[in-house]
Amino acid sequence: MERLAVALTDGLPGRQGPRDGPAGPRARRLGAGLRSGRRHRLHEPVTMTGHASQVFSRDDDWLQALHHARRALRPGGQVAFDMHTPHVHGWQAWNPTDSRRSVVTESDRAEVWREVTNIDGQLVSFDTTTRYAHSGHVEVDTDVLRFRDEPALRASLPLGGFVVEHVHGDWDASPARATSRELIVTAVRAD
């Protein structure tokens, strides 16, 4: 059975998405392929890495992504994903001082930083700015992430055709707590 990973890059120049990680180095990766409407082979599991589940800021988009993942799974198959938790307020470090880092691409060196532009309930809007050292070129990408709390997340999965199997508070499989920075979720296709 082939694994399917849905991965989004984090805006870093030259980054193509994870090569390793929960899905493994031999996993088949589809960018927006789950939305194409074409029938994929049955997979086990479908893995959304890099907090990809948070880019679905609208309920209908999130449910559509879950329905497409469900269609890609065999009966009883799993979907797995990670999500930043809202109560830790991790976006507070998304400012030019605390989030600034240097990256090296094939042809240039760049400084990258994030800056929150708006917070509206569970939605956090932010800009990722990339300043290239040699050319001086500056790119600004605007994004919105949704920080669902655990009850909202648990309520959404059955609507998408899944039964919650596990919700962990970190990659070490510890229980989800109020202090957990992430939720690591596995859910089983409901048939």
Name the CATH superfamily housing domain 2-86+147-189: Vaccinia Virus protein VP39 (3.40.50.150)
- The two most distant CA atoms of the chain are separated, in Å, by 55
CATH topology match: 2-86+147-189 vs 90-146: no
Where does the pLDDT of residue 107 fall: very low under 50, low under 70, confident under 90, or very high at 90 and above? confident
- Amino acid 105 reads T
Span 117-141, pLDDT tens digits: 999 999 999 999 999 999 999 999 9
Question: End-to-end distance of the chain based on CA atoms, in angstroms?
Answer: 19
Domain 90-146 bears CATH identifier 1.10.3470: no
Q: Would you mind telling me the total number of residues written for the chain in this entry? A: 191
Span 57-76, pLDDT tens digits: 999 999 999 999 999 898 88
Q: What is the pTM of this model?
A: 0.75
The answer to whether residue 35 scores a pLDDT higher than 80 is no
Give the span between the Cα atoms of 68 and 71, in whole angstroms.
5
The answer to whether residue 49 scores a pLDDT higher than 90 is no
Domain ranges of the chain: 2-86+147-189, 90-146
